[in-house]
A and B are shown apart, each in its own frame.
Chain A
Amino acid sequence: MQRRRPLGANPKSVPKPSVEADSVFLNIPYDRRSSKLYLAYIAGLIELGLTPKVTLGIPGGTNRLDRIFELIQTCRYSIHDLSRVQLDRRPPCTPRFNMPFELGLAIGWAKLNPEQHLWFVYETQIHRPQKSISDLNGTDCHIHGAKPEGVMRELCNSFIRPKHKPTVAQMMRTYKLLERSVPELKRHSGAETIFGARIFRDLLALAARFRDQRLMQS
């Protein structure tokens, strides 16, 4: 028998997770085709002084959804890349629903708590979201064209800093250094892919180091 909240308990008294003002929930596909964009998002957000968070490392099972939602709740912003609308070639041939589903969670949370969460939609092709997710018609999508430079450009459009504005060229520098570091990082971590929790943390730390070195030299 499920335990219910005692009668008369105020739902508003349930403590909400604390929001980290510089955290961004990154909802992007984790596949080889998206590996360049994955690194671009990491480099771009670190250059902007934001910390990306991903669902990598959250184990499956009944608690996974709760943990994903908790992660969204702790992030001030979320970026949802809806580029992966194709069917997966491996059987069974199905589309990936995780990205739109997590976007729905973020929108629901933002509707209930508008001052605690802001969400952004990113896509590869212009006008495609109007067909693939027409409920969002009227929402501005950020079109990156599946290029790292496009991702950097749109991140600069989404997040504006009055001071310490990195340029797209500076972000691309960090991205290229990060990309070149991946083989050595995989060797040290024993990882076969960059889509893992441990290597993700290492990528964040590396990108931050590259950014700090650039700021010291300038």
Chain B
Amino acid sequence: MSIQRTIRRTTRYNRRMGHSVQITTPIPSAEEIADRLGISEKRQKMLFRIVQRQLKARKIVAKKAPAGSQSEKRAKAER
């Protein structure tokens, strides 16, 4: 299938709004993005460790926050 037909199928330009576009392309996973960018497996593991550390630190902060606090409400909204 040609590129033009593929692009026509995956996007629709909303002329009424002037500048918004509907996207239906699949969401690439973190591994797919890392492979596309040429990030080595060793570096991907390092980045994964950073992710785990940050998420753990976030959980500790959320646990420490008193019930009904702004940070707890924010955490619920983000989930």
Tell me the A residues contacting B by CB distance below 8 Å: 18-19, 21-22, 46, 48-51, 76-77, 115-116, 118, 120, 139-140, 142, 157-162, 164, 167, 169-170, 172-173, 177, 180-181, 184-185, 188, 201-202, 204-206, 208-214, 217-218
Contact = CB atoms under 8 A, between A and B. Distances in A.
Interface of B: 3-4, 6-8, 10-11, 13-14, 17-30, 33-34, 36-39, 43-44, 46-48, 50-51, 53-55, 57-58, 74, 77-79
Contact of A204 (B14, B21, B37, B43): B37
A22 B20 contact: no
State the majority secondary structure of interface residues on B.
helix
A170 B34 CA distance: 22
B13 to A, nearest CB: 7
A159 B28 CA distance: 16
Given A160-B20, A169-B78, A210 B28 contact: no
Contact of A209 (B27, B48, B74, B78): B48
A206 B19 CA distance: 29
Given A116-B3, A177-B51, A202-B47, 7 more contacts: A118-B11, A162-B24, A177-B58, A206-B47, A209-B48, A210-B54, A214-B79
